[in-house]
Amino acid sequence: MGEASAIPLKTAAGGYRHETGKAEGNLIQMTEETRNGWRVVTVTGRADSEGADALETALRTAVEGNDKVVADFKGLNYISSAGLRSVLQAARAAQTRGSEFAVCGLTEFVRKVFDTSGLNQILHIHGELPC
């Protein structure tokens, strides 16, 4: 089993892709791009304890450099409490900075986790990208 590590890779669209996880495929992947003034961080895979730090880093970095950030979770099939904490920390950083922060594209399972945790009452959640 390999150690989890975040690998930022520059994409052709001028964004970044981060991958982390163990060799057996327990991965979280993130790509970033700008659309209509929004910095879109698209997250796929699993936001569990292995990938939570990379998720938080990617979201907070996006918040630090942009006035509008959205986390697109349409490809996220699992989120743990560690993943929820990462999203909450990014939302708090955005609030402190005066930036807009939203999440969108929640799968049924991920939406249930957000609902159960109460984060659906705190965060701006959209069905589709707001941009």
Give domain limits for the chain: 7-126
Instruction: Give the confidence band of 13 by pLDDT, cuts at 50, 70, 90.
Output: very low
Quote the tokens at residue 91.
Answer: 């939302």
Select from 7, 60, 70, 74 the least CA-distant residue to 34. 70
CB-based contact 98:63 (threshold 8 Å): no
What is the residue type of 31?
T
Q: Per mean pLDDT, which range of 6-10, 35-39, 54-58 is the poorest?
A: 6-10
Give the residues across from 16 on adjacent strands: 10
Distance CA 78, CA 46 (A): 5
Closest by CA to 28, choosing from 49, 3, 1, is 49
Fold of 7-126: Transcription Regulator spoIIAA (3.30.750)
Tens digits of residue pLDDT in 39-90: 999 999 999 999 999 999 999 999 999 999 999 999 999 999 999 999 999 9
Contacts of 115 (CB under 8 A, 6+ apart): none
